[in-house]
Amino acid sequence: MSASEPDAHWNTVYAAKDVDDVSWYEPVPATSRRLITMAATSGRVIDVGAGASGLADALLPAGYDVTVLDVSSNALEQVRQRLGQKATYVVADVLTWTPVDSYAVWHDRAVFHFLTDPADQARYVNQATTAVQTGGGLVMGTFAPTGPESCSGLPTARHDADSLVRLFAGAFTLEHAETDEHVTPWGVIQPFTWVVLRRE
C-alpha cells in the first residue's frame, strides 16, 4: 500500500459498500475469536484495521476491554452505531499512530498484508512492539502465498508463518500457526495464514 493517504482510499470504500458487500466480510469472526482466546483470556484487545467488522461485538460479552483502530472514520462510525461507548475508537494510520495504552492482544485480520514496502512493514512491527505488553499476544491473519495478489484495488504482500515469524523476530516468538480459507460473500476462496505471536 502506498503510505500516502490511505484514509481517502478506505473512506471511499466504506462509503460505497454495505458491511456485507466487501470481499473480507465474514458473518462470524470465528478464527479471530478463537485465536484471541489463545493469546489472552482477558484484558485490553486492540483490533488494528478493524473496519466495520463484528469482532468487537463478539469480544465485549466475554469481558475484554476493546479498542478498534482504523484509518477510515467511515468504517469506525459503523461500529460506533452498533456499540456506542462499549468500545474505544481510534481513527488513525497504524504506521503513524502513537499508542497511549498497552494491550494484552493486538489483532490484525487482512491489514498487514497491504504493507508491501519493507520500511512500512518494519514501522508496523515497531508499533506492535511498543503497544503490546510483555507476555501479550499478537494475532495476525494475512493472505497466504497462494492468496490474492491484490485486494480492494491495492497490491498485497502474501505471507506464510515463516515470513511473519522472521519479520516480527526480536520482539515476538511463534506460539501457534495455522492456515484457513476465507470464502468471500460471492463464493471466492482466499487462503489465509494465521499466527499467534508472543511478545517477549
Q: Is 147 in the site for ligand SAM (CB under 6 A)?
A: no
Q: Is 111 in the site for ligand SAM (CB under 6 A)?
A: yes
Q: Is 110 in the site for ligand SAM (CB under 6 A)?
A: yes
**Cell representation of residue 52:** 466495520
Instruction: Among 46, 68, 71, 144, indicate the residue that binds ligand SAM (CB under 6 A).
Output: 71
- Taking contact as CB under 6 A, which single stretch among the options 36-44, 77-85, 98-106, 108-116 is the one that binds ligand SAM? 108-116
Q: Is 99 in the site for ligand SAM (CB under 6 A)?
A: no
Q: Give 19's contacts (C-beta < 8 A, 6+ positions apart).
A: 25, 52, 78
Other C-beta atoms closer than 10 Å to the C-beta of 145 total: 12
- Residues that bind ligand SAM (rule: CB under 6 A) add up to a total of 19
* DSSP summary character for residue 86: G
List Cα–Cα distances, 110 to 32, 79, 148, 156, in angstroms: 11, 17, 11, 10
The nearer residue to ligand SAM, 40 or 76, going by C-beta atoms, is 76
Instruction: Among 77, 93, 160, 175, indicate the residue that binds ligand SAM (CB under 6 A).
Output: 93
Ramachandran sector of residue 71 (left: φ over 0; alpha: ψ -120 to 50; beta: rest)? alpha
Cβ 71 vs Cβ 94: under 8 Å: yes
The nearer residue to ligand SAM, 75 or 138, going by C-beta atoms, is 75
- Taking contact as CB under 6 A, which single stretch among the options 57-65, 67-75, 161-169, 187-195 is the one that binds ligand SAM? 67-75
Ramachandran sector of residue 189 (left: φ over 0; alpha: ψ -120 to 50; beta: rest)? beta
Residues contributing to the site for ligand SAM (CB under 6 A): 6, 10, 24, 49-51, 53, 70-72, 75, 93-95, 109-111, 114, 151
